[in-house]
Amino acid sequence: MKPTLFVLAAGMGSRYGGLKQLDGLGPNGETIMDYSIYDAVRAGFGKVVFVIRHSFEQDFREKVVNKYEKVIPVEVVFQEIDYVPEGATYNKERVKPWGTNHAVLMGKDVIKEPFAVINADDFYGKESYEVLAKFLMDKENKTNEYCMVGYHVGNTLSESGSVSRGVCEVDENNLLTTVVERTAIEKINGDIQFVDENNQVVKLEENTPVSMNMWGFTPDYFEHSEEFFKKFLQENGENLKSEFYIPTLVNDLIVKGQSTCEVLDTTAKWFGVTYAEDRPQFILKINELIRKGVYPNKLWK
């Protein structure tokens, strides 16, 4: 069975302004997602599921879904703030949905096979889809054996400002032991650093593995997500800014010994458009990859 690619596209790209998922960056107006799906199809993925918001469904179907339907089967699911377990309560003043793992939970009714999770607005590189597809193809009928593509933090920074990354620790078998979401990671005077919860500056080595939200799961992950989300809302439902991140749950499952998560090493360079100022750099990099023959000039004939 071919794995499914689950694309998190519900975020409106607040720092960048507007629907950056629909921004044409390639020579023929290709979006970052176009390159992701092209890479996924040639790596062996068999279906794409997008999670979006109802508010831009029409725009998304016209500009995105129509493009892929002749290439690979496509489904769309929705993430909204009020999609919570029956009986759950939360602060009604909240305006944002509940984060990346809430978005993943929205796929439970349409994904029955091993699946990968990616962000719509990140460029991950051809090699990353290849290692991910290979891992997932071996996981049919297995449970609690997950993976994450681990990028070297030095390959994931933006020249235009700070970034958020899941900073990872791994054991001698390349299994994840902890992953902690860190915000405001940036290079200052040659050092990659962030400020931790105790207001201490923490420096990171260039090759420290970080999560770029590129994960591989088996379908049992949805059950864990549902169970954990109920507890999460009981504890955090009144907090207007609380977010249910993928690393939060993965960490919990690892610490309890319920699941393992293999870190698949990649030296691929991530690039994306975190800030509007990143856009020209992205265009230069994609044109260089086209020149080298990694991608055709026109992706979708």
Q: What does the alpha-carbon distance between residue 287 and residue 295 come to, in Å, rounded to a whole number?
A: 9
Residue 268: Cβ within 10 Å count: 21
Using one digit for the tens of pLDDT, what is the confidence trace for 67-125?
898 899 999 999 877 777 777 777 787 777 778 888 999 999 999 999 999 998 889 99
Domains of the chain: 4-291 (3.90.550.10)
> What pairs with residue 263 in β-bridges?
148
- What's residue 19's pLDDT? 53
Using one digit for the tens of pLDDT, what is the confidence trace for 13-40?
443 444 544 677 889 988 888 999 999 9
Instruction: Tell me the chain's radius of gyration from C-alpha atoms.
Output: 18
Q: What does the alpha-carbon distance between residue 135 and residue 8 come to, in Å, rounded to a whole number?
A: 20
Using one digit for the tens of pLDDT, what is the confidence trace for 210-227?
998 899 999 999 999 988
